[in-house]
Structure 1
Amino acid sequence: MRQPDIEIYVKDADHNAITEWLSAALGPVSAWRQQGQTFKCSIASSDGPIPVTWLPKAVGKWNSLFLESDMTSWDDDLACARAAFAALNVEVRCAPGGWSEEEAEEQADRWIRISSDGEEEITWHTT
């Protein structure tokens, strides 16, 4: 099932590298607008604009990339994380599937780690 949005966590990448990757993968990216600690832009996809939020150092050294649309070329966070790792060659983490507030807290700590070591499920305490 297609997720309603995509969120991944990227280590050691800036929004310039992210811009290049998103432009190649999804379409033209507008200029980033800084709003407090976050950066926002929009991708002009063939299905309509995709709002994007980049939060540097959202969790320690990890940067959050949030695509607020189900109109990307990825069905879920994992597919996007795999594509990000392939394009950027930096470690990427994502939830193993959709997640909701109603889920148990231990489920919230389950993550998929994608790196040069491969892909594995880990426990990551983000709070």
Structure 2
Amino acid sequence: MRQPDIEIYLKDADHTAIAAWLSEALGPCTAWQQKGQTFKCSAAGVPVTWLPKAVGKWHSLHLNSDTTPWDDDLACAQAAFAALNVEVRCAPGSWQEEESVEQADRWMRISADGVEEITWRTG
């Protein structure tokens, strides 16, 4: 089932590289608009938010649309890793607010080692 939005976390990437990748994957990106620590743009009509160092050294990329080429966070994370060659993390599926803390710490890690489930305590 397609997720309503996509959120992935990237290590060692910047919003310039992200814009170049999204331009290829989705379509042309508008210029980034910075508001505080957050950067926003639109890639072929998809609202994009980039938050540097959202969790430690990890940067958050949020695509607020269900019309991306990816059905879920994992598919997007794998595409980001393939294009940018940086480690990417994402939730294993749609996370619900009522889920337990243990469930919230379950993440997928996409790296040169492949795809694996890890425990990542972000809170």
User: Structure 2 CA distance, aligned partners of 1:43 and 1:82?
Assistant: 19
Aligned to 1:35: 35
Aligned to 1:12: 12
Match for 2:14: what amino acid?
D
Residue 83 (structure 1) shift: 0.1
Residue 19 (structure 1) shift: 0.5
1:79-94 equivalences in 2 (<5 Å) = 79-94=75-90
TM-score by length of 2: 0.99
User: Structure 2 CA distance, aligned partners of 1:73 and 1:97?
Assistant: 16
Q: Which runs of 5+ in 1 are unaligned?
A: none
Deviation per residue, 1:63-92 (Å, 9 max, x gap): 000000000000000000000000000000
Residue 96 (structure 1) shift: 0.4
User: Structure 2 CA distance, aligned partners of 1:43 and 1:90?
Assistant: 21
RMSD between aligned alpha carbons? 0.5
Partner-residue secondary structure (3-state), 1:58: strand
Residue 50 (structure 1) shift: 0.7
Deviation per residue, 1:42-70 (Å, 9 max, x gap): 112xxxx1100000000000000000000
Structure 1 residue 64 and structure 2 residue 55: aligned?
Answer: no
User: Structure 2 CA distance, aligned partners of 1:39 and 1:51?
Assistant: 11
Residue 117 (structure 1) shift: 1.2
Residue 109 (structure 1) shift: 0.3
Q: Which runs of 5+ in 2 are unaligned?
A: none
Match for 2:67: what amino acid?
M
Aligned to 1:26: 26
Q: Which residue among 39, 47, 51 is the counterpart of 1:51?
A: 47
TM-score by length of 1: 0.96
Match for 1:108: what amino acid?
A
User: Structure 2 CA distance, aligned partners of 1:88 and 1:54?
Assistant: 15
User: Structure 1 CA distance, aligned partners of 2:80 and 2:62?
Assistant: 13
Percent identity over the alignment is 78
Residue 100 (structure 1) shift: 1.0
User: Structure 2 CA distance, aligned partners of 1:115 and 1:73?
Assistant: 21
Aligned to 1:99: 95
